[in-house]
Structure 1
Amino acid sequence: MAALQAIKQFRLKELATALTAAPEATTRPKVPNPFLPRKNPESGRWAPPKYSLRRQAELVKLARASNTLHLLPPGLKLGVQQLATAASTQSATGTSASPSEEVWAQDVEWEGELKKKKAVPGAEIGSKLYAGRRRMFKGHKWERTREAREEERRKAMEHMSKRIVGFKASYRRKIPNPASIPQATSYTKLPF
């Protein structure tokens, strides 16, 4: 219930001027989209959106919870396609609004155009930085030498059973006899 109340308050606040200007108009009133930045025609300067991205995201969540997603304007957190599907599902369910709700739930035309961002190559794989590059930037040394180390390790593991047998044979030959006079021996290091 609180979600529906929040959407209702948002709509009443944003539509207040349009509803007072033409309360019984048959055409859809034009209202500036509060989710998009606007250019001041007199000064030519851009004003930021009335609602921050965090607040937009909260309103979208509340609208989804109260099944009133079709009443929000398009913005960065809610695309035009999502609004179209929400409106079609809302009309398919056929819920009718009571006369008191018609004021805030009436159809509105939102002014402003939502510009679609260009797709950055590599965004679908999660790495925009290295998309289209043959090799990565400097990075850490362990990252640069990783492939060579893995290849060396793979080659060493191919014949490891033979290497272990060979080591054990040479190690046993070099173990000194405890009864004999101690001599300097050179034990071979483990090969792995």
Structure 2
Amino acid sequence: MAAKQAAVSLTETLPVRLRNFFARYPPQFYSAAAIPKPTPPADATLPSAAPVPYTPSRSAKPSKAAELAKGQFSITDSILRSSAEYPNPFLPHKSPETGHWRGAVVSLRRQNELVKLAQRFGVEELLPPGRKSSEYREAKVVEKGLRIKGTGIGQKVKGHKWERTMQGRLEERRKAMLEMPEMIRLWKQRGHGRGWKKYPRK
């Protein structure tokens, strides 16, 4: 009884627009908590960060992370879900009888307004899952990146040529510095460079 009174008092504090929406789409059937979240299959690969953001050359083979990214489990797609009995008003719906797709009942603009209104009153979890929800936005930032190429999970950037070849050049410099004492010894032994045609190379 106390829970019912608390729910009634909560609905009285909500604006008319949210009350009308919840009256048409009851949260016990349409909210994100009411619709079961799909679990990734056993053979699916979850997205993981790429180890190195630059490829050493254009002819280099793609990394393992890039190959797995093609068939990996999508976090954002799992958030956008609907039930057959109670179709999500925020998502397109396929008719089981005709097989035709029907557009979302609530447009993206109205979804955004409803989500902002629900966030202000702290009842966002009662709304159906959609593209304007904060959970979807956060998952999209993690999965796709900050709208900057290469910042998402498993993404890489081409970069400039000097950036792609930097790792190889640094390795060559390291090896040259390690061989420098031997080169100096050989240079002194051969008369400080007199009569050299070229630097001694191994």
Same fold judged by TM-score > 0.5? no
- Structure whose CA Rg is larger: 1
TM-score with structure 2 setting the length? 0.33
TM-score with structure 1 setting the length? 0.35
Which structure has more relative contact order (CA 8 Å, sep 6+)? It is: 2
